[in-house]
Amino acid sequence: MDKLHFTYEDIHRTAKDIAERVKASGFDPHMIVAIGSGGFIPARILRTFLSKPILAVGISYYDDEDRPTDLPRKVQWIEEAERKLAGKRILLVDEVDDSRTTLEYCIRELMRHEPSEIAVAVLHDKDKEKRGVIPDEVSRYFAGLRIEDRWVCYPWDADDIDAHDEAARKGV
């Protein structure tokens, strides 16, 4: 399968574009909730343009012995902050909407704390059959780009950032 490379600059521009669409939509979140660790970088860039605090949650598909698990597991959750979620407007952020499983899991967990509104923002939405669903309670869904179902190479995963940027430039 062909890989798809994005540079940090691509990611930055995509996050800026999402922020502009969030603002244009009239949605004014009280806070950004970043799904770790993939959502950390897009959330931090979104913060530049939306000027909202970030709360982080950590999700893993590996257990404590580093064995893969079918269901997501909380590495970190919000706890005391959860008490602040009631009645609040939340922008939930991740890097990619792949199978949608993580997003659905996080949305359902957040909904238990009765925020007034949840919107979702992802850099990339893969055009594929989804195993998870976005619950009806989610008012808005922002995807920076809709992409083919290919292996995405994010810059923060690059061992050699120059080789990564070169691959992105060549469109491979």
The residues assigned a catalytic role are: 98
157 and 129 Cβ atoms separated by less than 8 Å: no
Site for a copy of itself (CB under 8 A): which residue of 65, 70, 159, 170?
A: 159
Q: Which stretch binds a copy of itself (CB under 8 A): 11-19, 21-29, 99-107, 113-121?
A: 11-19
131 and 72 Cβ atoms separated by less than 8 Å: no
Site string for a copy of itself, 68-107 (x = CB under 8 A): -------xxxxxxx--------------------------
Q: Which stretch binds a copy of itself (CB under 8 A): 106-114, 124-132, 142-150, 153-161?
A: 153-161
Site string for a copy of itself, 17-56 (x = CB under 8 A): -----------------x-xx--xx-xxx-xxx---xxxx
3-state secondary structure 3-45: EEECCHHHHHHHHHHHHHHHHHHCCCCCEEEEEECCCHHHHHH
